[in-house]
Structure 1
Amino acid sequence: MDEKYSFALRKLALLGAMDDYIAISSRELGDALEMSQQSASKRILELLDEKYIVRDLGARKQRIKLTTKGIEDLKKEYNEYRRIFEITDHVTIHGTIQSGMGEGGYYICQDQYMKQFKEKLGFLPFEGTLNIQVDSEDIGKLDVIRSIAGVSINGFSNNGRSFGDVVAYKAKIRNIDCAIVVPERSHYADIIEIICQYHLRRTLSLEDGDHVDVKVEL
Protein backbone atom coordinates (compact mmCIF):
# COMPACT_ATOMS: atom_id res chain seq x y z
CA MET A 1 0.00 0.00 0.00
CA ASP A 2 1.22 3.46 -0.91
CA GLU A 3 2.56 5.28 2.16
CA LYS A 4 0.39 8.33 1.49
CA TYR A 5 -2.69 6.11 1.69
CA SER A 6 -1.57 4.22 4.80
CA PHE A 7 -0.80 7.53 6.55
CA ALA A 8 -4.31 8.82 5.78
CA LEU A 9 -5.92 5.55 6.87
CA ARG A 10 -4.00 5.56 10.15
CA LYS A 11 -5.23 9.08 10.90
CA LEU A 12 -8.82 8.17 10.05
CA ALA A 13 -8.58 5.02 12.17
CA LEU A 14 -7.30 7.03 15.13
CA LEU A 15 -10.35 9.26 14.77
CA GLY A 16 -12.62 6.21 15.04
CA ALA A 17 -13.31 5.40 11.38
CA MET A 18 -12.56 1.69 11.83
CA ASP A 19 -15.59 1.14 14.04
CA ASP A 20 -18.14 3.51 12.56
CA TYR A 21 -18.66 6.48 10.27
CA ILE A 22 -17.00 9.68 11.48
CA ALA A 23 -18.10 13.18 10.48
CA ILE A 24 -15.11 15.11 9.20
CA SER A 25 -14.65 18.01 6.81
CA SER A 26 -11.90 18.22 4.21
CA ARG A 27 -10.39 21.06 6.22
CA GLU A 28 -10.31 18.96 9.41
CA LEU A 29 -8.79 16.04 7.55
CA GLY A 30 -6.26 18.40 5.99
CA ASP A 31 -5.25 19.56 9.47
CA ALA A 32 -4.86 15.93 10.59
CA LEU A 33 -2.77 15.09 7.52
CA GLU A 34 -0.85 18.37 7.64
CA MET A 35 -1.90 19.38 4.14
CA SER A 36 -4.22 21.87 2.48
CA GLN A 37 -7.99 21.43 2.27
CA GLN A 38 -7.70 20.94 -1.50
CA SER A 39 -5.07 18.23 -1.08
CA ALA A 40 -7.17 16.51 1.58
CA SER A 41 -10.20 16.50 -0.74
CA LYS A 42 -8.06 14.89 -3.43
CA ARG A 43 -6.77 12.28 -0.97
CA ILE A 44 -10.35 11.35 -0.03
CA LEU A 45 -11.20 10.80 -3.70
CA GLU A 46 -8.08 8.65 -4.11
CA LEU A 47 -9.02 6.54 -1.08
CA LEU A 48 -12.51 6.11 -2.50
CA ASP A 49 -11.12 5.04 -5.88
CA GLU A 50 -8.86 2.49 -4.18
CA LYS A 51 -11.86 1.25 -2.15
CA TYR A 52 -10.10 1.93 1.16
CA ILE A 53 -13.01 4.02 2.47
CA VAL A 54 -16.71 4.58 1.94
CA ARG A 55 -18.32 7.99 2.21
CA ASP A 56 -21.75 9.38 3.04
CA LEU A 57 -22.23 13.00 2.00
CA GLY A 58 -24.17 14.94 4.64
CA ALA A 59 -25.57 18.44 4.59
CA ARG A 60 -22.60 20.00 6.37
CA LYS A 61 -19.95 17.31 6.79
CA GLN A 62 -19.08 14.12 4.98
CA ARG A 63 -19.10 10.88 6.92
CA ILE A 64 -16.24 8.45 6.30
CA LYS A 65 -15.60 4.86 7.32
CA LEU A 66 -12.81 2.43 6.50
CA THR A 67 -13.74 -0.54 4.34
CA THR A 68 -12.75 -4.13 5.07
CA LYS A 69 -9.97 -3.72 2.50
CA GLY A 70 -8.69 -0.61 4.25
CA ILE A 71 -8.70 -2.32 7.65
CA GLU A 72 -6.99 -5.46 6.34
CA ASP A 73 -4.22 -3.44 4.67
CA LEU A 74 -3.67 -1.52 7.90
CA LYS A 75 -3.42 -4.85 9.74
CA LYS A 76 -0.73 -6.02 7.31
CA GLU A 77 1.27 -2.88 7.99
CA TYR A 78 0.75 -3.30 11.74
CA ASN A 79 2.01 -6.88 11.61
CA GLU A 80 5.11 -5.80 9.69
CA TYR A 81 5.92 -3.25 12.38
CA ARG A 82 5.34 -5.86 15.08
CA ARG A 83 7.84 -8.14 13.39
CA ILE A 84 10.36 -5.29 13.28
CA PHE A 85 10.01 -4.05 16.85
CA GLU A 86 8.57 -6.94 18.89
CA ILE A 87 9.49 -10.23 17.27
CA THR A 88 12.84 -11.85 16.53
CA ASP A 89 12.77 -15.48 15.42
CA HIS A 90 9.63 -16.56 17.26
CA VAL A 91 6.35 -15.43 18.77
CA THR A 92 4.84 -16.86 21.93
CA ILE A 93 1.12 -17.60 22.08
CA HIS A 94 -0.51 -17.95 25.49
CA GLY A 95 -3.70 -19.94 25.96
CA THR A 96 -5.62 -22.60 27.87
CA ILE A 97 -6.17 -26.27 27.12
CA GLN A 98 -9.63 -27.05 25.80
CA SER A 99 -11.36 -30.27 24.79
CA GLY A 100 -12.06 -30.57 21.07
CA MET A 101 -14.80 -32.38 19.22
CA GLY A 102 -12.54 -35.22 18.08
CA GLU A 103 -12.53 -34.09 14.46
CA GLY A 104 -8.84 -33.16 14.53
CA GLY A 105 -7.78 -36.73 15.25
CA TYR A 106 -9.84 -38.07 12.37
CA TYR A 107 -8.30 -35.69 9.84
CA ILE A 108 -4.74 -35.91 11.15
CA CYS A 109 -4.59 -39.70 10.89
CA GLN A 110 -5.35 -39.74 7.17
CA ASP A 111 -2.40 -41.45 5.46
CA GLN A 112 -1.93 -38.69 2.88
CA TYR A 113 -1.59 -36.11 5.65
CA MET A 114 0.61 -38.33 7.82
CA LYS A 115 3.13 -38.89 5.04
CA GLN A 116 3.46 -35.16 4.45
CA PHE A 117 3.80 -34.37 8.17
CA LYS A 118 6.62 -36.90 8.43
CA GLU A 119 8.36 -35.57 5.32
CA LYS A 120 7.90 -31.83 5.90
CA LEU A 121 7.83 -31.50 9.71
CA GLY A 122 10.19 -34.31 10.59
CA PHE A 123 7.85 -36.29 12.84
CA LEU A 124 4.86 -38.61 12.61
CA PRO A 125 2.07 -37.08 14.70
CA PHE A 126 0.18 -38.78 17.47
CA GLU A 127 -3.35 -39.43 16.19
CA GLY A 128 -5.05 -36.41 17.67
CA THR A 129 -4.69 -32.69 18.21
CA LEU A 130 -4.28 -30.58 21.32
CA ASN A 131 -6.74 -27.69 21.28
CA ILE A 132 -5.71 -24.41 22.85
CA GLN A 133 -7.96 -21.39 23.28
CA VAL A 134 -5.76 -18.34 22.71
CA ASP A 135 -5.83 -15.58 25.34
CA SER A 136 -7.75 -12.55 24.08
CA GLU A 137 -4.71 -10.29 24.27
CA ASP A 138 -2.78 -12.67 21.98
CA ILE A 139 -5.39 -12.97 19.21
CA GLY A 140 -3.51 -10.34 17.18
CA LYS A 141 -0.42 -12.56 17.18
CA LEU A 142 -2.32 -15.11 15.10
CA ASP A 143 -2.36 -12.60 12.25
CA VAL A 144 1.43 -12.28 12.58
CA ILE A 145 1.78 -16.05 12.33
CA ARG A 146 -0.58 -16.31 9.36
CA SER A 147 1.41 -13.60 7.57
CA ILE A 148 4.39 -15.97 7.21
CA ALA A 149 4.48 -18.79 4.70
CA GLY A 150 4.39 -21.79 7.03
CA VAL A 151 4.66 -25.37 5.78
CA SER A 152 2.12 -26.29 3.11
CA ILE A 153 0.37 -29.64 3.52
CA ASN A 154 -1.52 -30.46 0.35
CA GLY A 155 -5.14 -31.55 0.34
CA PHE A 156 -6.42 -34.65 -1.44
CA SER A 157 -9.52 -36.69 -2.23
CA ASN A 158 -10.23 -40.11 -0.77
CA ASN A 159 -13.26 -42.31 -1.52
CA GLY A 160 -15.16 -39.38 -2.95
CA ARG A 161 -14.43 -37.13 0.03
CA SER A 162 -12.19 -34.09 -0.22
CA PHE A 163 -9.67 -33.10 2.44
CA GLY A 164 -8.50 -29.50 2.21
CA ASP A 165 -5.07 -27.92 2.29
CA VAL A 166 -3.43 -27.35 5.68
CA VAL A 167 -0.74 -24.89 6.73
CA ALA A 168 1.58 -25.98 9.54
CA TYR A 169 3.76 -23.73 11.68
CA LYS A 170 6.63 -25.31 13.60
CA ALA A 171 6.43 -24.66 17.32
CA LYS A 172 7.49 -25.85 20.78
CA ILE A 173 5.64 -26.44 24.03
CA ARG A 174 8.04 -26.73 26.98
CA ASN A 175 10.86 -27.50 24.49
CA ILE A 176 8.93 -30.36 22.86
CA ASP A 177 8.74 -30.05 19.07
CA CYS A 178 5.22 -29.70 17.73
CA ALA A 179 3.32 -27.70 15.13
CA ILE A 180 0.21 -25.57 14.83
CA VAL A 181 -2.00 -26.83 12.02
CA VAL A 182 -4.48 -24.49 10.34
CA PRO A 183 -6.99 -26.28 8.10
CA GLU A 184 -8.17 -24.45 5.03
CA ARG A 185 -11.75 -24.77 6.30
CA SER A 186 -11.10 -23.79 9.91
CA HIS A 187 -14.06 -22.07 11.58
CA TYR A 188 -12.24 -20.95 14.73
CA ALA A 189 -10.82 -17.48 15.30
CA ASP A 190 -9.35 -18.08 18.77
CA ILE A 191 -8.57 -21.83 18.80
CA ILE A 192 -5.29 -23.34 17.62
CA GLU A 193 -4.74 -27.06 17.03
CA ILE A 194 -1.39 -28.61 17.90
CA ILE A 195 0.09 -31.82 16.53
CA CYS A 196 3.07 -33.61 18.07
CA GLN A 197 4.71 -37.02 17.92
CA TYR A 198 3.80 -37.43 21.60
CA HIS A 199 0.45 -37.48 23.40
CA LEU A 200 0.95 -34.02 24.88
CA ARG A 201 -1.76 -34.30 27.51
CA ARG A 202 -0.10 -37.41 28.97
CA THR A 203 3.51 -36.35 28.37
CA LEU A 204 3.06 -32.93 30.01
CA SER A 205 0.25 -33.89 32.42
CA LEU A 206 -2.12 -31.35 30.91
CA GLU A 207 -5.80 -31.00 31.67
CA ASP A 208 -8.59 -28.75 30.44
CA GLY A 209 -8.13 -25.24 31.79
CA ASP A 210 -4.34 -25.53 32.20
CA HIS A 211 -2.43 -22.54 30.86
CA VAL A 212 0.34 -23.19 28.31
CA ASP A 213 2.76 -21.18 26.19
CA VAL A 214 3.35 -22.10 22.55
CA LYS A 215 6.56 -20.77 21.00
CA VAL A 216 6.06 -20.51 17.23
CA GLU A 217 9.00 -20.27 14.83
CA LEU A 218 9.01 -17.41 12.34
Structure 2
Amino acid sequence: MRHDNRVRRESATSLDRDLLRLLADRGAACRETWVDPEEMAGRLDRPPAEIGSALRAMAAEGYLRVTRIERGAILTITDRGRGELDGPTGEDRIELAGTIEDGLGKGGEFVALPGYERQFEARLGYRPFPGTLNVALTEDAARSRRELADVPGIPIDEWEADGTTYGAATCYPASIRADEGSARELVHVLVPERTAHDVDKLELIAPMRLRADPAYDTGSEVTIHV
Protein backbone atom coordinates (compact mmCIF):
# COMPACT_ATOMS: atom_id res chain seq x y z
CA MET A 1 0.00 0.00 0.00
CA ARG A 2 2.84 2.40 0.81
CA HIS A 3 4.23 1.83 -2.69
CA ASP A 4 0.85 2.60 -4.31
CA ASN A 5 0.52 5.85 -2.36
CA ARG A 6 4.01 6.93 -3.39
CA VAL A 7 3.18 6.27 -7.08
CA ARG A 8 0.03 8.38 -6.79
CA ARG A 9 1.95 11.23 -5.18
CA GLU A 10 4.62 11.14 -7.91
CA SER A 11 1.93 11.05 -10.61
CA ALA A 12 0.15 14.02 -9.08
CA THR A 13 3.33 16.11 -9.00
CA SER A 14 3.83 15.52 -12.75
CA LEU A 15 0.53 17.29 -13.55
CA ASP A 16 1.23 20.96 -14.27
CA ARG A 17 -2.27 22.43 -14.32
CA ASP A 18 -1.25 25.92 -15.42
CA LEU A 19 0.67 24.53 -18.39
CA LEU A 20 -2.10 22.05 -19.22
CA ARG A 21 -4.64 24.89 -19.21
CA LEU A 22 -2.46 26.98 -21.52
CA LEU A 23 -2.08 24.04 -23.91
CA ALA A 24 -5.87 23.58 -23.95
CA ASP A 25 -6.32 27.27 -24.73
CA ARG A 26 -3.98 26.76 -27.69
CA GLY A 27 -6.21 23.96 -29.03
CA ALA A 28 -4.21 20.92 -27.87
CA ALA A 29 -7.30 19.28 -26.37
CA CYS A 30 -8.75 18.68 -29.85
CA ARG A 31 -5.87 18.77 -32.34
CA GLU A 32 -2.14 18.29 -32.71
CA THR A 33 -0.58 21.56 -31.62
CA TRP A 34 2.88 22.97 -32.17
CA VAL A 35 4.43 24.15 -28.91
CA ASP A 36 7.54 26.25 -28.45
CA PRO A 37 8.75 25.84 -24.80
CA GLU A 38 10.38 29.28 -24.86
CA GLU A 39 7.13 30.95 -25.93
CA MET A 40 5.17 29.01 -23.29
CA ALA A 41 7.77 29.96 -20.67
CA GLY A 42 7.27 33.63 -21.50
CA ARG A 43 3.50 33.29 -21.18
CA LEU A 44 3.81 31.62 -17.77
CA ASP A 45 6.84 33.64 -16.60
CA ARG A 46 8.86 30.49 -15.97
CA PRO A 47 12.24 29.17 -17.24
CA PRO A 48 12.10 27.31 -20.60
CA ALA A 49 13.94 24.33 -19.08
CA GLU A 50 11.21 24.00 -16.46
CA ILE A 51 8.53 24.01 -19.17
CA GLY A 52 10.40 21.34 -21.13
CA SER A 53 10.69 19.15 -18.04
CA ALA A 54 6.99 19.60 -17.26
CA LEU A 55 6.00 18.58 -20.79
CA ARG A 56 8.14 15.45 -20.62
CA ALA A 57 6.76 14.54 -17.20
CA MET A 58 3.14 14.93 -18.28
CA ALA A 59 3.81 12.89 -21.42
CA ALA A 60 5.40 10.13 -19.33
CA GLU A 61 2.32 10.03 -17.08
CA GLY A 62 -0.12 9.93 -19.99
CA TYR A 63 -1.55 13.45 -19.77
CA LEU A 64 -0.05 14.40 -23.15
CA ARG A 65 0.82 12.56 -26.35
CA VAL A 66 3.93 13.92 -28.03
CA THR A 67 4.10 12.87 -31.66
CA ARG A 68 7.15 14.78 -32.84
CA ILE A 69 9.83 17.01 -31.38
CA GLU A 70 12.01 19.41 -33.40
CA ARG A 71 12.46 23.02 -32.40
CA GLY A 72 9.63 22.43 -29.99
CA ALA A 73 6.96 19.76 -29.71
CA ILE A 74 3.83 18.66 -31.54
CA LEU A 75 1.43 17.30 -28.96
CA THR A 76 -2.17 16.64 -28.00
CA ILE A 77 -3.85 16.39 -24.61
CA THR A 78 -5.02 12.83 -23.99
CA ASP A 79 -8.35 11.73 -22.50
CA ARG A 80 -6.61 11.54 -19.13
CA GLY A 81 -5.34 15.09 -19.50
CA ARG A 82 -8.74 16.40 -20.62
CA GLY A 83 -10.24 14.83 -17.51
CA GLU A 84 -8.03 17.10 -15.39
CA LEU A 85 -9.10 20.30 -17.12
CA ASP A 86 -11.49 22.82 -15.61
CA GLY A 87 -13.50 24.94 -18.03
CA PRO A 88 -13.67 24.72 -21.84
CA THR A 89 -11.36 22.38 -23.72
CA GLY A 90 -11.55 24.10 -27.09
CA GLU A 91 -12.98 21.03 -28.78
CA ASP A 92 -14.70 23.00 -31.56
CA ARG A 93 -12.58 22.50 -34.65
CA ILE A 94 -12.67 24.75 -37.67
CA GLU A 95 -14.79 23.15 -40.40
CA LEU A 96 -14.07 24.06 -44.01
CA ALA A 97 -16.19 22.71 -46.86
CA GLY A 98 -15.28 22.88 -50.52
CA THR A 99 -14.78 21.18 -53.85
CA ILE A 100 -11.61 19.57 -55.17
CA GLU A 101 -10.24 21.28 -58.25
CA ASP A 102 -7.27 20.85 -60.54
CA GLY A 103 -4.11 22.73 -59.64
CA LEU A 104 -1.32 24.15 -61.77
CA GLY A 105 1.32 21.66 -60.62
CA LYS A 106 3.26 24.30 -58.68
CA GLY A 107 2.43 22.69 -55.32
CA GLY A 108 4.24 19.50 -56.24
CA GLU A 109 7.37 21.42 -57.15
CA PHE A 110 7.20 23.36 -53.87
CA VAL A 111 6.73 20.29 -51.66
CA ALA A 112 9.56 18.35 -53.29
CA LEU A 113 12.23 21.03 -52.83
CA PRO A 114 14.90 19.65 -50.47
CA GLY A 115 14.82 22.59 -48.05
CA TYR A 116 11.10 22.07 -47.50
CA GLU A 117 11.16 18.29 -47.66
CA ARG A 118 13.67 18.07 -44.79
CA GLN A 119 11.52 20.29 -42.60
CA PHE A 120 8.31 18.44 -43.43
CA GLU A 121 9.89 15.15 -42.41
CA ALA A 122 11.32 16.58 -39.18
CA ARG A 123 8.27 18.60 -38.10
CA LEU A 124 5.30 16.72 -39.55
CA GLY A 125 6.75 13.25 -39.20
CA TYR A 126 6.55 12.29 -42.88
CA ARG A 127 7.69 13.22 -46.37
CA PRO A 128 4.63 14.47 -48.25
CA PHE A 129 3.63 13.04 -51.60
CA PRO A 130 5.06 15.54 -54.13
CA GLY A 131 1.82 17.32 -54.88
CA THR A 132 -0.94 19.23 -53.16
CA LEU A 133 -4.67 18.63 -53.08
CA ASN A 134 -6.41 21.85 -54.11
CA VAL A 135 -9.78 22.71 -52.61
CA ALA A 136 -12.04 25.60 -53.64
CA LEU A 137 -13.80 26.67 -50.46
CA THR A 138 -17.44 27.61 -50.19
CA GLU A 139 -18.24 31.23 -49.38
CA ASP A 140 -18.89 30.39 -45.71
CA ALA A 141 -15.71 28.32 -45.48
CA ALA A 142 -13.64 31.13 -46.99
CA ARG A 143 -14.85 33.36 -44.16
CA SER A 144 -14.14 30.65 -41.56
CA ARG A 145 -10.64 30.18 -42.95
CA ARG A 146 -9.66 33.48 -41.31
CA GLU A 147 -9.92 31.68 -37.97
CA LEU A 148 -6.73 29.80 -38.88
CA ALA A 149 -4.86 32.94 -37.81
CA ASP A 150 -5.80 32.02 -34.21
CA VAL A 151 -4.65 28.39 -34.52
CA PRO A 152 -1.01 27.63 -33.59
CA GLY A 153 0.42 26.17 -36.77
CA ILE A 154 3.67 24.30 -37.40
CA PRO A 155 6.24 26.71 -38.85
CA ILE A 156 8.24 25.85 -41.96
CA ASP A 157 11.18 28.23 -42.16
CA GLU A 158 12.42 30.07 -45.21
CA TRP A 159 15.70 28.85 -46.63
CA GLU A 160 18.24 29.72 -49.29
CA ALA A 161 19.96 27.82 -52.08
CA ASP A 162 22.13 29.11 -54.94
CA GLY A 163 21.29 32.70 -54.09
CA THR A 164 17.52 32.12 -54.09
CA THR A 165 15.39 32.58 -50.98
CA TYR A 166 12.44 30.22 -50.60
CA GLY A 167 9.63 31.59 -48.45
CA ALA A 168 8.29 30.36 -45.15
CA ALA A 169 5.01 28.49 -44.72
CA THR A 170 2.73 27.24 -41.97
CA CYS A 171 1.18 23.78 -41.70
CA TYR A 172 -1.99 22.96 -39.76
CA PRO A 173 -2.81 19.38 -38.72
CA ALA A 174 -6.16 18.45 -40.20
CA SER A 175 -8.44 15.67 -41.38
CA ILE A 176 -10.42 15.45 -44.59
CA ARG A 177 -13.60 13.57 -45.42
CA ALA A 178 -15.24 13.19 -48.80
CA ASP A 179 -19.02 13.34 -49.04
CA GLU A 180 -18.86 9.74 -50.25
CA GLY A 181 -17.56 8.77 -46.81
CA SER A 182 -13.84 8.22 -47.39
CA ALA A 183 -11.73 9.92 -44.69
CA ARG A 184 -8.05 10.64 -44.11
CA GLU A 185 -6.81 11.68 -40.66
CA LEU A 186 -3.16 12.41 -41.46
CA VAL A 187 -3.17 15.52 -43.65
CA HIS A 188 -1.94 19.09 -43.21
CA VAL A 189 -3.26 22.35 -44.56
CA LEU A 190 -0.32 24.12 -46.20
CA VAL A 191 -0.30 27.92 -46.17
CA PRO A 192 2.77 29.40 -47.90
CA GLU A 193 3.79 32.90 -46.86
CA ARG A 194 4.02 33.77 -50.53
CA THR A 195 1.11 32.46 -52.55
CA ALA A 196 -0.86 33.35 -55.64
CA HIS A 197 -3.98 31.68 -54.21
CA ASP A 198 -6.95 33.68 -52.98
CA VAL A 199 -8.44 33.15 -49.52
CA ASP A 200 -11.04 30.80 -51.01
CA LYS A 201 -8.38 28.30 -52.09
CA LEU A 202 -6.81 25.73 -49.81
CA GLU A 203 -3.88 23.34 -50.35
CA LEU A 204 -3.38 20.08 -48.45
CA ILE A 205 -0.43 17.72 -48.20
CA ALA A 206 -0.32 14.12 -46.99
CA PRO A 207 2.13 11.21 -46.98
CA MET A 208 0.10 9.48 -49.68
CA ARG A 209 -1.39 10.56 -53.01
CA LEU A 210 -4.90 11.52 -51.95
CA ARG A 211 -6.17 11.52 -55.52
CA ALA A 212 -5.44 7.80 -55.76
CA ASP A 213 -8.77 7.41 -53.96
CA PRO A 214 -11.62 8.09 -56.44
CA ALA A 215 -13.47 9.88 -53.60
CA TYR A 216 -10.94 12.72 -53.99
CA ASP A 217 -11.23 13.26 -57.72
CA THR A 218 -11.83 16.63 -59.35
CA GLY A 219 -15.29 17.93 -58.49
CA SER A 220 -15.65 15.87 -55.29
CA GLU A 221 -17.09 17.70 -52.32
CA VAL A 222 -15.07 17.44 -49.11
CA THR A 223 -15.04 18.70 -45.53
CA ILE A 224 -11.79 19.59 -43.77
CA HIS A 225 -11.46 19.85 -40.01
CA VAL A 226 -8.53 21.83 -38.58
**Fold shared, TM-score > 0.5 on shorter chain:** yes
Structure 1: 5+ residue stretches without partners: 1-84
Equivalent position amino acid for 1:195 in 2: I
Hey, what does 2:203 align to over in structure 1?
A: 193
Q: CA deviation at 1:93?
A: 0.8
Amino acid at match of 1:139: A
**Amino acid in structure 2 at the alignment position of 1:181:** L
Quote how far apart the aligned CAs of 1:204 are: 4.9
**Aligned CA-pair RMSD:** 1.9
Unaligned runs of 5+ in 2: 1-87, 177-182
TM-score normalised to structure 2 length: 0.55
- Give the match for residue 135 of structure 1: 138
Q: Which residue of 1 aligns with 2:188?
A: 179
| TM-score normalised by length of structure 1 | 0.57
Measured after TM superposition, the shift of residue 124 of structure 1 is: 1.1
Give the aligned length.
Answer: 132
Deviation at 1:186, TM superposition (A): 1.7
Aligned partners of 2:192 and 2:122: how far apart in 1?
18
Runs of 4+ deviating beyond 6 Å: none
Distance in 2 of aligned mates of 1:88 and 1:181: 22
The 2-side partners of 1:180 and 1:204 are apart by: 20
Instruction: State the match for 2:179 in structure 1.
Output: none
Q: Distance in 2 between matches of 1:134 and 1:194?
A: 12
Partner amino acid for 2:106? E
Equivalent-residue separation in structure 2 for 1:171 and 1:204 (angstroms): 20
Q: CA deviation at 1:152?
A: 0.3
- Larger C-alpha radius of gyration, 1 or 2? 1
What is the aligned counterpart of 2:216 among 206, 211, 214?
Answer: 206
| Aligned residue in 2 for 1:30 | none
TM superposition shift of 1:89: 4.5
Shift of 1:147: 2.1
